Amino acid sequence: MLLSVLFFFKFLFFAPPAGDNVPASIYDFKVESLEGGKIDFAKYKGKKILIVNTASECGYTPQYEGLEELYKKHKDKLVIIGFPANNFGGQEPGSNEEIAGFCKKNYGVTFPMAAKIEVKGKDMAPIYHWLTEKKYNNFADNTVKWNFNKFLIDENGKLIGYYGSKVKPNDAELLKAIEQ
Protein backbone atom coordinates (compact mmCIF):
# COMPACT_ATOMS: atom_id res chain seq x y z
CA MET A 1 0.00 0.00 0.00
CA LEU A 2 2.74 2.44 0.96
CA LEU A 3 4.58 1.60 -2.25
CA SER A 4 1.55 2.41 -4.41
CA VAL A 5 1.02 5.73 -2.57
CA LEU A 6 4.67 6.64 -3.13
CA PHE A 7 4.42 5.70 -6.81
CA PHE A 8 1.28 7.84 -7.15
CA PHE A 9 2.99 10.89 -5.60
CA LYS A 10 6.10 10.34 -7.72
CA PHE A 11 3.94 10.21 -10.85
CA LEU A 12 1.85 13.20 -9.78
CA PHE A 13 4.72 15.47 -8.87
CA PHE A 14 7.62 14.18 -10.93
CA ALA A 15 6.00 13.04 -14.18
CA PRO A 16 8.11 14.05 -17.16
CA PRO A 17 6.88 17.02 -19.19
CA ALA A 18 5.04 16.27 -22.44
CA GLY A 19 8.10 17.16 -24.49
CA ASP A 20 10.20 14.41 -22.89
CA ASN A 21 8.90 11.78 -25.32
CA VAL A 22 10.39 13.59 -28.32
CA PRO A 23 12.53 11.43 -30.62
CA ALA A 24 16.04 12.62 -31.43
CA SER A 25 15.57 12.43 -35.21
CA ILE A 26 12.75 13.54 -37.49
CA TYR A 27 13.03 10.08 -39.05
CA ASP A 28 11.92 8.46 -35.79
CA PHE A 29 8.46 10.05 -36.00
CA LYS A 30 5.41 8.06 -37.00
CA VAL A 31 2.22 10.13 -36.87
CA GLU A 32 -1.41 9.34 -37.49
CA SER A 33 -2.56 10.08 -41.03
CA LEU A 34 -5.67 12.16 -41.73
CA GLU A 35 -7.25 9.23 -43.55
CA GLY A 36 -6.07 6.47 -41.22
CA GLY A 37 -2.80 4.62 -40.96
CA LYS A 38 0.56 6.16 -40.19
CA ILE A 39 2.93 8.60 -41.83
CA ASP A 40 6.42 7.19 -41.26
CA PHE A 41 9.03 9.93 -41.64
CA ALA A 42 11.79 7.33 -42.12
CA LYS A 43 10.52 6.74 -45.65
CA TYR A 44 11.41 10.34 -46.54
CA LYS A 45 15.17 10.00 -45.93
CA GLY A 46 16.97 11.64 -48.83
CA LYS A 47 14.13 14.13 -49.50
CA LYS A 48 13.45 17.55 -48.12
CA ILE A 49 10.37 17.74 -45.90
CA LEU A 50 8.17 20.81 -45.59
CA ILE A 51 5.90 20.63 -42.55
CA VAL A 52 2.96 23.05 -42.45
CA ASN A 53 0.30 23.55 -39.77
CA THR A 54 -2.96 24.02 -41.66
CA ALA A 55 -6.53 25.19 -41.11
CA SER A 56 -9.59 25.12 -43.36
CA GLU A 57 -11.18 28.42 -42.31
CA CYS A 58 -8.17 30.74 -42.28
CA GLY A 59 -7.26 33.68 -44.48
CA TYR A 60 -4.15 31.68 -45.44
CA THR A 61 -6.14 28.58 -46.44
CA PRO A 62 -5.69 29.33 -50.18
CA GLN A 63 -2.02 28.42 -49.62
CA TYR A 64 -3.18 24.80 -50.01
CA GLU A 65 -3.26 25.48 -53.76
CA GLY A 66 0.34 26.70 -53.80
CA LEU A 67 1.48 23.88 -51.56
CA GLU A 68 -0.07 21.34 -53.92
CA GLU A 69 1.63 22.98 -56.93
CA LEU A 70 4.95 22.97 -55.07
CA TYR A 71 4.51 19.32 -54.15
CA LYS A 72 3.67 18.25 -57.70
CA LYS A 73 6.61 20.20 -59.14
CA HIS A 74 9.21 18.91 -56.67
CA LYS A 75 7.81 15.58 -55.43
CA ASP A 76 10.94 13.73 -56.58
CA LYS A 77 12.96 15.59 -53.92
CA LEU A 78 10.36 17.13 -51.58
CA VAL A 79 7.47 15.90 -49.49
CA ILE A 80 4.99 18.27 -47.91
CA ILE A 81 3.16 17.13 -44.80
CA GLY A 82 0.19 19.11 -43.54
CA PHE A 83 -0.77 19.09 -39.88
CA PRO A 84 -4.31 20.40 -39.33
CA ALA A 85 -4.64 22.21 -36.00
CA ASN A 86 -7.37 24.21 -34.31
CA ASN A 87 -5.04 26.34 -32.18
CA PHE A 88 -5.75 29.72 -33.75
CA GLY A 89 -9.18 31.33 -33.77
CA GLY A 90 -11.06 28.02 -34.03
CA GLN A 91 -10.19 27.94 -37.74
CA GLU A 92 -9.96 24.14 -38.01
CA PRO A 93 -13.14 22.94 -36.28
CA GLY A 94 -13.77 19.88 -38.47
CA SER A 95 -13.14 16.20 -37.89
CA ASN A 96 -10.34 14.39 -39.71
CA GLU A 97 -12.88 13.14 -42.27
CA GLU A 98 -14.27 16.63 -42.86
CA ILE A 99 -10.78 18.10 -43.22
CA ALA A 100 -9.75 15.40 -45.72
CA GLY A 101 -12.89 16.01 -47.80
CA PHE A 102 -12.35 19.78 -47.73
CA CYS A 103 -8.71 19.49 -48.85
CA LYS A 104 -9.49 17.14 -51.74
CA LYS A 105 -12.64 18.91 -52.94
CA ASN A 106 -11.39 22.50 -52.74
CA TYR A 107 -7.66 22.16 -53.43
CA GLY A 108 -7.03 18.67 -54.82
CA VAL A 109 -4.49 17.99 -52.08
CA THR A 110 -2.43 14.86 -52.76
CA PHE A 111 0.47 15.46 -50.36
CA PRO A 112 0.34 13.60 -47.02
CA MET A 113 -1.87 15.09 -44.34
CA ALA A 114 -1.55 14.11 -40.69
CA ALA A 115 -4.46 13.74 -38.31
CA LYS A 116 -5.49 16.88 -36.46
CA ILE A 117 -3.09 17.78 -33.64
CA GLU A 118 -2.11 20.58 -31.26
CA VAL A 119 0.83 22.72 -32.45
CA LYS A 120 1.23 24.76 -29.26
CA GLY A 121 0.26 24.73 -25.62
CA LYS A 122 0.31 22.01 -22.99
CA ASP A 123 -0.99 19.35 -25.43
CA MET A 124 1.52 20.17 -28.18
CA ALA A 125 2.29 17.11 -30.31
CA PRO A 126 5.84 15.72 -29.89
CA ILE A 127 6.72 16.54 -33.50
CA TYR A 128 6.01 20.21 -32.81
CA HIS A 129 8.25 20.09 -29.74
CA TRP A 130 10.96 18.84 -32.10
CA LEU A 131 10.24 21.57 -34.64
CA THR A 132 10.08 24.44 -32.16
CA GLU A 133 12.73 23.61 -29.55
CA LYS A 134 16.44 23.96 -30.28
CA LYS A 135 17.29 21.28 -27.70
CA TYR A 136 15.65 18.79 -30.11
CA ASN A 137 16.15 20.28 -33.58
CA ASN A 138 19.65 21.78 -33.09
CA PHE A 139 18.59 24.75 -35.24
CA ALA A 140 16.50 27.29 -33.35
CA ASP A 141 13.71 27.88 -30.90
CA ASN A 142 10.63 28.83 -32.91
CA THR A 143 7.07 29.70 -32.00
CA VAL A 144 4.13 28.72 -34.15
CA LYS A 145 2.39 32.06 -34.35
CA TRP A 146 -0.54 31.24 -36.64
CA ASN A 147 -1.78 28.78 -39.25
CA PHE A 148 0.42 27.93 -42.24
CA ASN A 149 3.79 28.27 -40.53
CA LYS A 150 6.35 26.22 -42.45
CA PHE A 151 9.35 24.20 -41.30
CA LEU A 152 11.87 22.96 -43.87
CA ILE A 153 13.99 19.89 -43.16
CA ASP A 154 16.88 18.92 -45.43
CA GLU A 155 17.63 15.54 -47.00
CA ASN A 156 19.62 14.51 -43.93
CA GLY A 157 16.86 15.22 -41.42
CA LYS A 158 18.14 18.57 -40.20
CA LEU A 159 15.80 21.51 -39.69
CA ILE A 160 17.11 24.27 -41.96
CA GLY A 161 14.33 26.84 -42.14
CA TYR A 162 11.28 28.34 -40.49
CA TYR A 163 8.84 30.46 -42.48
CA GLY A 164 5.84 32.35 -41.12
CA SER A 165 2.28 32.36 -42.40
CA LYS A 166 2.82 35.24 -44.84
CA VAL A 167 5.52 33.30 -46.71
CA LYS A 168 3.70 31.77 -49.65
CA PRO A 169 4.67 28.39 -51.10
CA ASN A 170 6.08 30.13 -54.20
CA ASP A 171 8.21 32.58 -52.17
CA ALA A 172 11.67 33.02 -53.74
CA GLU A 173 13.56 32.37 -50.48
CA LEU A 174 11.62 29.19 -49.75
CA LEU A 175 12.02 27.95 -53.35
CA LYS A 176 15.76 28.61 -53.22
CA ALA A 177 16.08 26.56 -50.02
CA ILE A 178 14.08 23.70 -51.56
CA GLU A 179 16.05 23.71 -54.81
CA GLN A 180 19.52 23.79 -53.19
Asked whether residue 168 carries a pLDDT value surpassing 90, the answer given is yes
Q: Where are the domains of the chain?
A: 23-179
**Residues with a known catalytic role:** 58
pLDDT at 21: 77
Indicate whether 10 pLDDT > 60. Answer: no
The string of pLDDT tens digits covering residues 54-101 is 999 999 999 999 999 999 999 999 999 999 999 999 999 999 999 999
**Rounded CA separation 130/25 (Å):** 8
* 95-145 tens-digit pLDDT: 999 999 999 999 999 999 999 999 999 999 999 999 999 999 999 999 999
pLDDT at residue 84, as a whole number: 98
CATH of domain 23-179: 3.40.30.10
- Number of continuous H segments (helices) and E segments (strands) in the chain: 6, 6
Lowest mean pLDDT among 11-15, 61-65, 148-152, 154-158: 11-15
Against a cut of 0.85, is the pTM above it?
Answer: yes
Residue 141 CA to its chain's centroid (Å): 15
16 pLDDT higher than 90: no
